[in-house]
Homo-oligomer: A and B are copies of this chain.
Amino acid sequence: MTDPASSTDVPPIAVALHGGSGTICREMLSAELEQSYRQALAEARDAAWSLLAAGGAALDAVEAGAKVLEDCPLFNAGLGAVFTSDGGHELDAAIMEGRERKAGAVAGVKSVKNPISLARAVLADERYVFLAGPGAEAFAESVAVERVAADWFGTPERFAQLRAAQANDGMVMDHDGKVSTKYGTIGVVALDEHGDVAAATSTGGLTNKKFGRIGDTPLIGAGTYADNRTCAVSCTGYGEEFMRAVVAHDVAARMEYLGETLERATRHVVWQKLPKLRGSGGLIAVDRTGRVSLPFNTDGMYRAWRTSRDKTEGVAIFGDD
């Protein structure tokens, strides 16, 4: 290996995460709310980082970080998930590790407090990759995940968003500002000291969504992907275009086949390819050398990162911070 990061004795570790992307402007966030977002993003990042710094596995780190974001009502995943058209919640999540490319995903989950942990249980079980609906709930009965009542996920803010969307007869994203659209998803990627990468993504879907719609989040290759040879990726955006473009796998394929760097591959996909499909959103990614990349083609993306390689860390929301 010729990479400078591996010329030292200490292998690099890194984490990056997102809490959704979209039309996120300073004038839309009060100082208090902005501070709450920044604090939650830092807390999730630090939860993942502390595991990595103690020699833990990337797979454990991304699950731990994702759980912090799922448990925070500010983000559209777990507690604080948006409402479907019938006033319920349908949660999707996926997790993947890059060494053997084992993966687990769930869709349409209604009673599991942390969908990312159910996805992790699917991965650990190894019989399947993707479980959906009542079947996923039945699987949850057989593993150790915390269950909650159906009304546990909702918050007054989310219910107001449902009512606004229904008045509008439209299916809108979880932040229903007058001129705003926000793609509510959370995701974490990490590299551990063993050289393994992992990715986790979780979402409450779309406010007022109908017909059991599944987005890109739980689809391996679309919203979530990890391969030690290249990178780990978690996406946030309008899911339909991310599925059609197979975004997460496309980033890995460009690195593997074109020899592109993580930065170049992620920027090309988010800034060049996705706009051609009118796809808006962003992604976070980490490569095996400990670099991270967090590009988005929207006004903002809730995000945080920390790397040992470049000794960088940060929490950011807007396009210019």
Contacts and interface: CB of A to CB of B under 8 A. Distances in A.
A134 B225 CA distance: 28
Interface in A184-205: none
User: Which DSSP category, helix, strand, loop or mixed, fits chain A's interface?
Assistant: mixed
B253 A139 contact: no
A214 B220 CA distance: 12
A129 interface: yes
Contact of A221 (B171, B221, B257): B221
Contacts of A220: 219, 222, 243-244, 246
A71 interface: no
Contacts of A107: 132, 214
Kindly name the residue among A134, A244, A250 whose own CB sees the greatest number of chain B CB atoms within 10 A.
A244
* Count of this chain's copies in the oligomeric assembly: 2
Interface in A255-277: 257-258, 277
Interface residues of A, number: 43
A131 B214 contact: yes
A136 B210 CA distance: 9
A276 to B, nearest CB: 10
A103 B101 CA distance: 26
A102 interface: yes
A38 interface: no
Contacts of A257: 253-254, 257-258
A53 interface: no
A253 to B, nearest CB: 4
A239 B219 CA distance: 13
Given A220-B246, A257-B257, A132 B132 contact: yes
A251 to B, nearest CB: 11
Interface in A123-170: 127-136, 138-139
A102 to B, nearest CB: 7
Contact of A253 (B133, B135, B212, B253): B253
A286 to B, nearest CB: 19
